[in-house]
């Protein structure tokens, strides 16, 4: 018989406690992120350069130095469909791994599409609709972002076109169905519908696709139509900004639990869920509080741990501005690991700068180890994690074990960014012992990095 617990498991906030402002870390960073550059002129990109792709309110958020930005009521109204999200104490996992540390997790999988992504999708759809755009184009890796944007655009009556990385399109047919159920159009990338897609297919007819290629296709689509804006699910400052409701809620919930984390952990693809949880805590760290902030990435796409900090394009066809970030090079095609949302050659400039400044540290893990931790978690906590979020779980378990070995007790908080209900084929492969661990060759990293030689160097 399981023992009866007296300590609380779930920490919930009332709808009235939903954060009313997003937190903008740019206001507090010790060193500002460097400007994004126009590839033709080498000069910082201005609002007018971005206007064909984004609505003006998002462009202003992208460059804002205000610490807090009010969340419009229309967005709060939609957030209230699933927010505030629950925070759990992982009592059963703690017991199973025999740790003396306390492990908490914030669960973003309760949103209708099943991840943190609608926190920004709803905001982006709102501002686009408000400024008269009628159609959005985007890319998606695992399908989480594409389904979040399809969900958000249908609520605002916008059309939506999703370029889905081909390997995920094949591995995750039900994410495709979700996107269609919410009324969006979806196509496998690289596709024949854009110049960027056709160029890749000509050279590599069997290309599994990558986020870099799919971004090129979506940007090209948006740039070629008046009625269409581009929408990105991660990396950009305004996207990270919208996710900060996660960490603000978590601070209030940790207070309810009478605790404050020593360690804050998230997985990093482009960086949005990690930023969402950690930025409000980093605000406290920058103000002097001691917190270890850990970013977890896949060893097959080790942007923060093995990439370089450089100016690079956000996409494969070099259509985006030059972005100062940790990168593996814009033509790096990550191995087809199952954490599709972590297969991106770059990472958010804000996170890159925080890593440079020593405020955030990063570790890279193999996918079989992450699946092992995800299964351990599922068997004790119940929730089946998305493979991306499995990296954060693995980071939390390793952190607890290291604390036990050092004879320490720590309070650990991680972001469970989504559920894995549409990723069961990946779990099947893991159970069948068919998941490959990709040990990325240094020579491949050097080859890919050659593509950024000659681009401007950051200060």
- Report how many residues bind ligand PLP under the rule CB under 6 A: 21
**Of positions 61, 85, 111, 115, contacts ligand PLP by CB under 6 A:** 115
Six token digits for residue 81: 């469909």
Contacts of 346 (CB under 8 A, 6+ apart): 235, 270, 303, 307, 312, 314, 323, 325, 326, 327, 328, 330
Phi, psi (degrees; rounded to nearest 5) at 82: -140, -15
Answer positive or negative: Cα dihedral of 324, 326, 329, 335. Answer: negative
Q: Cβ closer to ligand PLP: 316 or 417? A: 417
Q: Cβ closer to ligand PLP: 102 or 107? A: 107
Please tell me whether residue 161 adopts helix, strand or coil conformation.
strand
Of the candidates 249, 252, 262, 254, the one whose C-alpha atom is nearest the C-alpha of residue 411 is 262
Q: Cβ closer to ligand PLP: 268 or 359? A: 268
Q: Cβ closer to ligand PLP: 247 or 271? A: 271
Beta strand 228-230 with 308-313: parallel, antiparallel or unpaired? unpaired
Report the residue number whose CB is nearest to ligand PLP: 341
Give the Cα separation of 112 and 394 in Å (integer). Answer: 25
Binding mask 126-145 for ligand PLP (x = CB under 6 A): ---------------xx-xx
Q: Cβ closer to ligand PLP: 386 or 440? A: 386
Taking the complex as a whole, the smallest distance from the CB of residue 141 to ligand PLP amounts, in Å, to 5
Taking the complex as a whole, the smallest distance from the CB of residue 140 to ligand PLP amounts, in Å, to 7
Q: Cβ closer to ligand PLP: 270 or 349? A: 270
Give the Cα separation of 320 and 327 in Å (integer). Answer: 14
Near ligand PLP in 68-107, by CB under 6 A: none
Please tell me whether residue 267 adopts helix, strand or coil conformation.
strand
Six token digits for residue 10: 């779930």
Binding mask 289-328 for ligand PLP (x = CB under 6 A): ----------------------------------------
- The strand order across the sheet containing 263-267 reads 10-11, 87-89, 102-107, 411-416, 263-267, 292-298, 361-365
Q: Cβ closer to ligand PLP: 104 or 422? A: 422
Give the Cα separation of 137 and 131 in Å (integer). Answer: 16
Taking the complex as a whole, the smallest distance from the CB of residue 8 to ligand PLP amounts, in Å, to 26
Taking the complex as a whole, the smallest distance from the CB of residue 342 to ligand PLP amounts, in Å, to 6
Please tell me whether residue 459 adopts helix, strand or coil conformation.
coil
Near ligand PLP in 349-368, by CB under 6 A: none
Near ligand PLP in 372-431, by CB under 6 A: 386, 388-389, 417-418
By the 8 A CB rule, do 411 and 261 touch? Answer: yes
Near ligand PLP in 232-291, by CB under 6 A: 234, 267-274
Residues lying near ligand PLP in the complex (CB under 6 A) are found at: 115, 141-142, 144-145, 234, 267-274, 341-342, 386, 388-389, 417-418
């Amino acid at each position: 018989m399981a023992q009866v617990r007296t300590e609380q498991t779930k920490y919930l906030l009332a709808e009235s406690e939903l954060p009313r402002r997003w937190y903008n870390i740019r206001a507090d960073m010790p060193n500002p992120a460097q400007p994004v550059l126009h590839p033709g002129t080498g000069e910082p990109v201005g609002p007018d350069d971005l206007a064909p792709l984004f609505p003006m309110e998002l462009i202003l958020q992208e460059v804002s130095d205000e610490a807090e930005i009010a969340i419009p009521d229309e967005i709060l109204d939609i957030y209230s469909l699933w927010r505030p999200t629950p925070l759990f104490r992982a009592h059963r996992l703690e017991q199973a791994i025999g740790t003396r540390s306390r492990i908490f997790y914030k669960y973003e999988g309760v949103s209708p599409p099943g991840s943190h992504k609608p926190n920004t999708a709803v905001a982006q759809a709102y501002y686009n609709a408000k400024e008269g755009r009628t159609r959005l184009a985007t890319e998606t890796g695992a399908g989480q972002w594409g389904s979040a944007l399809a969900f958000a655009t249908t609520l605002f009556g916008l059309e939506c076109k999703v370029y889905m990385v081909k390997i995920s399109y094949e591995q995750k047919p039900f994410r495709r169905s979700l996107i269609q159920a919410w009324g969006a159009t979806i196509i496998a990338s690289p596709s024949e519908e854009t110049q960027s897609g056709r160029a890749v297919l000509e050279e590599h007819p069997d290309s599994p696709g990558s986020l870099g290629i799919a971004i090129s296709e979506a940007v090209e689509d948006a740039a070629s139509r008046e009625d269409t804006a581009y929408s990105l699910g991660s990396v950009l400052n305004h996207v990270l900004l919208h996710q900060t409701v996660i960490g603000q809620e978590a601070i209030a919930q940790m207070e309810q639990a009478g605790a404050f984390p020593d360690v804050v952990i998230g997985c990093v693809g482009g960086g949005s869920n990690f930023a969402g949880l950690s930025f409000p805590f980093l605000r406290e760290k920058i103000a002097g509080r001691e917190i270890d902030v850990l970013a977890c990435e896949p060893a097959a796409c080790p942007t923060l741990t093995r990439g370089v900090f450089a100016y690079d394009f956000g996409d494969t066809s070099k259509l985006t501005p030059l972005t100062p970030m940790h990168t593996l090079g814009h033509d790096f095609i990550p191995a087809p690991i199952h954490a599709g949302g972590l297969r991106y050659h770059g990472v958010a400039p804000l996170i890159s700068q925080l890593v440079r400044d020593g405020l955030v540290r990063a570790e890279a893990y193999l996918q079989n180890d992450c699946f092992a931790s995800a299964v351990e978690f599922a068997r004790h906590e119940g929730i089946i994690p998305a493979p991306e979020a499995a990296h954060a779980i693995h980071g939390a378990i390793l952190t607890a074990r290291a604390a036990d070995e050092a004879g320490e007790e720590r309070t650990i908080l991680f972001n469970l960014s989504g559920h894995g209900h549409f990723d069961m084929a990946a779990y099947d492969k893991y159970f069948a012992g068919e998941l490959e661990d990709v040990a990325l060759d240094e020579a491949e990293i050097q080859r890919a990095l050659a593509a950024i030689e000659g681009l401007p160097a950051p200060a």
